Each structure stands twice: as structure tokens, then as C-alpha cells.
A = this chain, B = another copy of it.
Amino acid sequence: MRAVVCTDFESSEVKEVETPAPGPGEVLIEVSRVQLSVTECMLYRGTEIAHHDEVARRIRESNGGAQLFGHEFCGRIMAVGEGVDAYAESDRVYAPGKPYCGECTYCRSNHQHLCDDITSLGFDCPGALAEYVRMPVEPLCTLPDSVSDAEGAALQPMASSVLCTLDADVEPGDTVVVIGAGVMGYQCALLADRFGAGTVYTVDVRNRPLELAEQNGVKAIDATETDVVEAVNKATDGIGADVVFEAVGGDQSHATEGGEPIAQAFEVVRRGGTVVQVSHIEGEIDLLPRYLRSKSIRWINPRKGVVAIQPGTDTGRLAADLVADGEVPIEDYITHELDGLEEFETAVDITLNKDEYDALGPAQLVLD
């Protein structure tokens, strides 16, 4: 089969590699679409964030290039390994979860998403930047017919947004503020609304995301024109927001002073409210604990992976169903679809420089 192999940081080629065969409990999936993630693109460029050492080692130890990245994808099952009952050939699937060990204390007590020895697709093993990908069935979820391939390849981050929003414990009627209308910020805003919030405000500086928010029933605040804290306080009789999602992340320096996103989050949240850290803040920040203490703020960092909700439902399943029903139109953020694995380098460039390309979400590669 053909696959993207990385011969070094910032150096890749598409070449023929051996098609894997599914072992016991595994399936082989024919990839329809694959979407890059910002983290993958940063790692490919050599940035020293989480997974960097692993990636470096995989490149170094590879013979002729390592099959890296590609955990956001959808495809069709081509072959099932021994003992696989829950899936059959031609099932359409995506992978909201990650393979877990099944043996550690977390796994044995039904907390598999916290597994000690989780396997990261595309980092610890070959991902879906290839015609086929082999993997155990546990992380998979079937796709309803009404979910398109484009949506299917974009569903894995949506499953994370579902978990972020569940962990936020939004109460019916809550005032919710989402700072940053990137992919996950947009999804969290729509999900908070869907899960019963009274009024949801999305804050951004770009026109298009604010337009999309308004089209989907969420109030848009253009931070270039409007003071967020003032606007929300005015709308809430001076109380502030019950729940705030910080969905900008990146390089920030002070959490409780000045106007950076996280500082804004702590300022706009009401006494006794919750700030949900959706995005990753790089490096260190300064913080005045007294400020958080005086307002009785809960600062939560959501769980990751796939979590059971009710019998028959988990966060991966719910994400797929919400998209299938048109509740969260994630296709709004799929702006760049490229043809074939050969476009990998272009896709990296678009994903890392969205504004330059007028992109909202990461680029997708279409395989056929």
C-alpha cells in the first residue's frame, strides 16, 4: 500500500510499504479521509512539545522512514482479525479513542480513558496517513450513513469537545462564554447550547467564526469592538458567566492580570463559577491564587479519550450522533480538502497557517 513516511523532521515522501494484516482483536481499515491536527503538524516541524521525543526516536530508528501521524480519519473496514465480533467488513468507522492496555488498575476499574499505557495512533504506531491502517477495535466507533466522509474525518476532535462540555456540567439556563472560536471552541459553544445553556457567547476577533456562531444560535462577541467582561456583566445583572471555556490556548503569560484569554476567562466567570481549560497553554504562566480563591473559582482540565455516558452511549458515539442529526455542523470548519497523500506537505502548511490560507479548521486529505 502507499503511505506517507517521514524520513526526518520536515521531510516526507509517499511510498509503497507493506500492507499490514489484522491480528487477533484487530481490524484493517481502508482510509477514506484523513485530517491533520495542529499538534501533528508542530511535531512534524520539530517543535519540542509532548510526543517530540517519541517522534524523534521513531524517525531515527526507522529504516527508510517512519509512518507517523494520522489519528483523525475515517474509513471502511476491509478485514477483521480473530475474535472480532462487534465489527464486520465494510462497516464505516472513525477512531474517537486510543488503544488501552486493559491490564492496569485504571482499565480494570472501568476507567480505560485514564489507562497507564495508552497507545497513541500515529505516534506509538502507524496512523492513517496511508491507504490502510490496522488497529484494535476498542477505540473505534461506527459512523451513521448521514455522516459524510469529510465529517467522519473531523469527528475525533468533536468527541473531545463533547467530553469537555460534559465535564463543564452546564446547568439548564446557564450563561456560558466560550473564548476562542477555533474548531473546539466552536463545537463547545454549540454543545453547551445543545446541552441546555441559557445564553452562550462566543468570543473571537475573526468575522467568519462569529458569523457561523450567530447562524447556529450562539451570540457572537467581536473582541476587537466589544469589551467581553463588560458585555457579559451587563447581560447578567453584574453576575458574570456560570461557565467559561478557554479555547484559545497558545503562548500566554499571565492568568489573572491583563487581557489574555485565560485572564479574561477568570475575570468574566462569576463567583463560584467554572473555567474549563479546553486549549493548551504553552509554557509557564504567572497566576495570583488569591484572585481565584476570592471568587471561589473551579478551574477544570477536562478528561481525555472516550468515556461511557449511559448504557449504549459514550462520548465517541454521542459525537457521531450529534453530527448525524445536524445538531453541530462541524463541516462549517472543513475548508480545505486536498487530493491524495501527496498533498501532505501542503496540508501541514495550511493547518499551521490558517489565517494565511483563509482556513478555519485543519486540512483534510481525500483518498480514493
Q: Is A174 an interface residue (CB 8 A)?
A: yes
Residues of B within 8 A of A215 (CB): none
Q: Interface-forming stretch among A107-115, A124-132, A360-368?
A: A107-115
Is the beta-carbon distance between B194 and A311 smaller than 8 angstroms? no
Q: Is A227 an interface residue (CB 8 A)?
A: no
Is the beta-carbon distance between A311 and B166 smaller than 8 angstroms? no
Q: Is A263 an interface residue (CB 8 A)?
A: no
Is the beta-carbon distance between B195 and A111 smaller than 8 angstroms? no
Is the beta-carbon distance between A284 and B286 smaller than 8 angstroms? yes
Q: Is A302 an interface residue (CB 8 A)?
A: yes
* Known contacts A173-B310, A308-B109, A311-B111; A300/B302 CB under 8 A: no
Q: Is A2 an interface residue (CB 8 A)?
A: no
Name A285's contact: one of B105, B289, B302 (CB within 8 Å): B289
Is the beta-carbon distance between B295 and A301 smaller than 8 angstroms? yes
Residues of A225-281 at the interface with B, using a CB-CB cut-off of 8 Å, are 236-239, 242, 255, 262, 270-272, 277, 280-281
Q: With CB as the reference atom, state the residue of chain B lying closest to A318.
A: B173
Distance in Å from the Cβ of A51 to the closest Cβ of chain B?
Answer: 11
* Known contacts A286-B285, A292-B301; A311/B50 CB under 8 A: no
Report the Cα distance A290→B105, complex, angstroms. Answer: 24
Is the beta-carbon distance between B239 and A105 smaller than 8 angstroms? yes
Chain A residues with a Cβ under 8 A of chain B = 50, 85-86, 103, 105-106, 108-112, 114, 116, 162, 165-166, 171-174, 191, 194-196, 198, 236-239, 242, 255, 262, 270-272, 277, 280-290, 292-304, 308-314, 317-318, 321
